[in-house]
């Protein structure tokens, strides 16, 4: 299914759907590509199509919003390519992907990267053990697979996902052994003014807290994980109290907690692989979750025809992402000459206004989850930072001491970030450690984007192309 479109949207989460539906409504031909089997991204991730939701299953506002967006995309007439992994985007633009049927490529003068986020996990001893999973992974198990991460999981990290996951475990019939929150009550209080901008979400969060208390789930504030180790029948977590900068307190270690699963997440960082690959300009903003592609108020990047939207443009939350997608869709319609300047302004103004309110809430949550340099600095020398290549903190320090001045030098010298995840898992910690030496995250830089964006089997790329298909020029006469 190759072909040409006016616009290709990469990612079918709230931002991608907002972009595609808006662009379609102005007559553009649109293709939406996503790795999952349907829309929703991770936030509105649906149960598998093979599962039948029971009529008496508890209602949930996210499920409703996700279903509405799914419907709006299907009704929009946009072409969709689900279960396709994009591995290359070339200037112009050409998008290469692999799906069940093998390699495909499409072209369009405009691309919107709506690729969402990656979860950040700051390493601790034992974080690579089977049974230790991301907090976002736990939400996927619960929301999509309808599966508990454990009967008595430890839920650790920071941000609103902690309580959301803990309550979903209770709803599913499990009981969290403990919730360990790096934030203190004061951090949550500081977010109150922004929380007031979304009373529905604030009330939902409050409901979660009440629910956990009623169920007798221990919630420890200003507490992280010192270490996880395997036991005869599961895992044991050593909790550790931290200071306001999330630095472990010297005598902060607490009693071990026995558990069957650890779900841990230290916030979200924008997924910038597409914009990095195309060499758009980026800037670092800790409050937005890390490096983001520079963009204007209509989400145009520094490259003509390339747009960003959603958490990949800076962590702002699902509601803001959907509106950002709409603005990017409107900008594409205008830039392709399908929407006049006045009509564009008329359409964009109310969306911008709603976005300002939605971003307030999302960005307060992003600040709560932002990486504190002292947290990354607390990683022990023998702890693995780069999971793919088993590169330890000590090896990173050695490279920095030997003169590695940015993350790409670090990568070349140590292989940190060079493995199949392409630095998605270790990038934030590694960059924070380099930044300590060179002064700032801006100076430490960001991984250079490289294709393939996902590991792709060679035979899928070549398809039925064989040696005999290689065009050989006729030999010159002797």
Partner 1 sequence: MSLRIGHTVDRPGAVTITVDGTPVSAHPGESVAAALFAAGRRRLRESPRAGAPRGMFCLMGACQECVVIVGGRRVPACQTPVSEGLAVTTGVPW
Pick the closer one to partner 1 by CB: 110 or 141. 141
Pick the closer one to partner 1 by CB: 181 or 389. 389
Tell me how far, at minimum, the Cβ of 172 lies from partner 1, in Å. Answer: 4
CA distance 83 to 340: 35
Segment (H or E) for 258: strand 257-259
Tell me how far, at minimum, the Cβ of 77 lies from partner 1, in Å. Answer: 27
CA distance 27 to 76: 10
Tell me how far, at minimum, the Cβ of 229 lies from partner 1, in Å. Answer: 13
Pick the closer one to partner 1 by CB: 168 or 336. 168
Exposed / middle / buried, residue 57 (Cβ in 10 Å: 0-12, 13-18, 19+): exposed
Tell me how far, at minimum, the Cβ of 184 lies from partner 1, in Å. Answer: 28
CA distance 180 to 158: 8
Pick the closer one to partner 1 by CB: 56 or 200. 56
Q: Which residues pair with 89 in a beta bridge?
A: 95
Phi, psi of 379 (to 5 degrees): -65, 135
Give which of 230, 250, 252, 247 is closest to 239, Cα–Cα: 252
CA distance 296 to 301: 7
Locate 171 and state its tokens. Answer: 């709803």
Pick the closer one to partner 1 by CB: 305 or 317. 317
Locate 396 and state its tokens. Answer: 């990173």
Tell me how far, at minimum, the Cβ of 176 lies from partner 1, in Å. Answer: 14
Pick the closer one to partner 1 by CB: 49 or 255. 49
Give 206-239 as a DSSP string: HHHHHHHHHTT--EEESEEEEEEEEETTEEEEEE
Tell me how far, at minimum, the Cβ of 171 lies from partner 1, in Å. Answer: 8
Sequence-ordered list of residues with C-beta below 8 angstroms from that of 182, at least 6 positions apart, any chain? 157, 158, 222, 223, 224, 242, 246, 266, 375
Pick the closer one to partner 1 by CB: 342 or 464. 464
Tell me how far, at minimum, the Cβ of 177 lies from partner 1, in Å. Answer: 15
Give which of 269, 383, 291, 337 is closest to 109, Cα–Cα: 337
By CB under 8 A, name the binding residues for partner 1. 35, 42, 47-54, 57-58, 85, 118-119, 128-134, 136-137, 140-142, 145-151, 172-173, 384, 387-390, 419-421, 424-425, 454-455, 457, 459-460
Pick the closer one to partner 1 by CB: 109 or 172. 172
Tell me how far, at minimum, the Cβ of 417 lies from partner 1, in Å. Answer: 13
Give 17-36 as a DSSP string: HHHHHHHHHTT--EEEE-SS
């Amino acid at each position: 299914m190759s072909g040409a479109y006016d616009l290709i949207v990469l990612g079918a989460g709230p931002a991608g759907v907002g972009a595609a539906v808006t662009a379609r409504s102005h007559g553009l031909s649109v293709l939406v590509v996503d790795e999952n089997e349907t829309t929703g991204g991770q936030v509105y991730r649906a149960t598998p199509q093979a599962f039948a939701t029971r009529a008496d299953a508890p209602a949930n506002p996210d499920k409703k919003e996700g279903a509405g967006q799914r419907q709006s995309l299907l009704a929009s007439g946009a072409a969709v390519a689900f279960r396709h992994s994009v591995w290359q985007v070339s200037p112009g633009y050409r998008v290469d992907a692999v799906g069940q049927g093998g390699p495909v490529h499409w072209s369009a003068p405009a691309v919107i990267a709506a690729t969402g986020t990656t979860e950040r996990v700051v390493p601790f001893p034992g974080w690579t053990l089977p049974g230790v999973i991301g907090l976002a992974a736990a939400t996927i198990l619960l929301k999509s697979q309808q599966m508990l991460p454990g009967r008595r999981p430890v839920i650790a990290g920071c941000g609103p996902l902690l309580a959301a996951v803990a309550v979903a475990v209770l709803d599913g019939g499990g009981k969290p052994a403990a919730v360990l929150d790096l934030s203190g009550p004061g951090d949550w209080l500081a977010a109150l003014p922004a929380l007031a901008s979304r009373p529905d979400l604030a009330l939902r969060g409050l409901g979660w807290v009440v629910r956990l208390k009623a169920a007798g789930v221990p919630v420890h504030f200003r507490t992280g994980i010192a270490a996880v180790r395997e036991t005869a029948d599961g895992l044991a977590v050593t909790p550790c109290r931290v200071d306001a900068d999330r630095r472990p307190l010297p005598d902060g270690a607490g009693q071990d907690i026995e558990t069957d699963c650890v779900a841990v997440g230290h916030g979200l960082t924008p997924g910038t692989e597409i914009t990095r690959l195309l060499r758009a300009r980026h800037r670092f903003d800790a409050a937005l979750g890390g490096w983001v592609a520079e963009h204007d108020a209509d989400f145009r990047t520094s490259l003509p025809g390339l747009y960003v939207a959603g958490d990949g443009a800076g962590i702002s939350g699902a509601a803001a992402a959907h509106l950002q997608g709409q603005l990017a869709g409107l900008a594409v319609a205008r830039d392709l000459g399908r929407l006049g300047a006045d009509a564009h302004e008329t359409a964009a103004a109310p969306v911008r206004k709603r976005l300002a309110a939605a971003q307030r809430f999302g960005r307060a949550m992003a600040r709560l989850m932002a990486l504190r340099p002292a947290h990354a600095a607390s990683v022990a020398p023998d702890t693995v930072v780069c999971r793919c290549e088993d590169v330890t903190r000590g090896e990173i320090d050695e490279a920095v001491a030997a003169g590695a001045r940015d993350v790409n030098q670090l990568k070349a010298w140590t292989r940190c970030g060079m493995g199949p995840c392409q630095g998605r898992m270790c990038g934030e910690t590694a960059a924070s450690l380099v930044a300590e030496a060179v002064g700032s995250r801006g100076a430490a830089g960001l991984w250079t984007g490289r294709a393939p964006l996902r590991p792709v089997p060679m035979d899928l790329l070549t398809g039925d192309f064989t040696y005999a298909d290689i065009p050989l020029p006729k030999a010159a006469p002797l």
